[in-house]
Amino acid sequence: MGLLNIEGVTHWSIPVNNLEESEEFYGDFLGLEHVGRLGNSRMTCYKVADHSILLCERTNPVDVAKNSEEQVHHSFTVSPETLVQACKLFRERKVHVDQIIHRAQGFFTGRELYFFDPSGNRLELRDPTWTAGMPELSFEELADA
C-alpha cells in the first residue's frame, strides 16, 4: 500500500489541437456523452460509463504526422458488434487506423483496434469477448463483415 490513499479517478485529460473538431469526433462520432464546457475555458468534459474525459485544447497544436508517443493511448471497451461497426465507419470516414491486435495473453486480453483522433492521439477500442482460438480477422475483413 502507498503512502497516500487514492480513492478514485476524477478524470483523464486528452490534449487536442482543435476543440470543436475534437468535440465532434468524441461526441458525435465515438458517441461519448457530452457533459459540457468548463466555463469560458478551451476544455470540455465527456462521460463514458462512470469515467470522465476532459478534452483540453493545446496552446501550441502539434503536428499530427510527427506524434512520437507510440505506446501512449486511451482504451474504450466495446462489444463485438460495435467493433465491427467502428471498422466500417473508420474506413468510410477515413479515420487513420494503426493496427488490430488479437491479444490472447496478458492483463487486457481481447481484440484491440488502435486508431488516431484528429489531433493524433492514439486510441483503442477493445472487445474483451475475443479469446484464443476465435478467428483473427483483419481490419478489412471486419469492415467487410
The backbone torsions φ and ψ at residue 91, rounded to the nearest 5 degrees and listed phi first, read -65, -45
The pTM of this model reads: 0.88
Q: Looking at the structure, do residues 13 and 42 belong to the same domain, yes or no?
A: yes
Specify the pLDDT at position 28: 95
Q: Looking at the structure, do residues 95 and 133 belong to the same domain, yes or no?
A: yes
Which DSSP category does 27 fall into? I
Q: Looking at the structure, do residues 116 and 143 belong to the same domain, yes or no?
A: yes
**In the chain, at which residue ranges do the beta strands (DSSP E only) sit?**
12-16, 33-37, 43-48, 51-57, 74-77, 97-103, 110-116, 122-127
Report the chain's mean pLDDT, rounded to a whole number: 92
In a domain, 68, yes or no: no
> What is the count of structural domains for the chain?
2
In a domain, 90, yes or no: yes
Structural domain of 54: 8-60
End-to-end alpha carbon distance in the chain? 47
Assess contact for 68 and 116: CB atoms under 8 A.
no
How far is residue 141's CA from residue 97's CA, in Å, rounded to a whole number?
Answer: 14
pLDDT digits (tens, 9 = 90+) for 76-114: 999 999 999 999 999 999 999 999 999 999 899 999 999
Query: What is the pLDDT averaged over residues 52-63?
Result: 92
Domain closes at, from 39, 60, 81: 60
Specify the pLDDT at position 69: 66
Residue 130 belongs to domain with CATH number: 3.10.180.10
Query: What is the pLDDT averaged over residues 13-24?
Result: 96
Q: Confidence class of residue 62 from pLDDT cuts 50, 70 and 90?
A: confident
In a domain, 67, yes or no: no
In a domain, 66, yes or no: no
Specify the pLDDT at position 46: 96
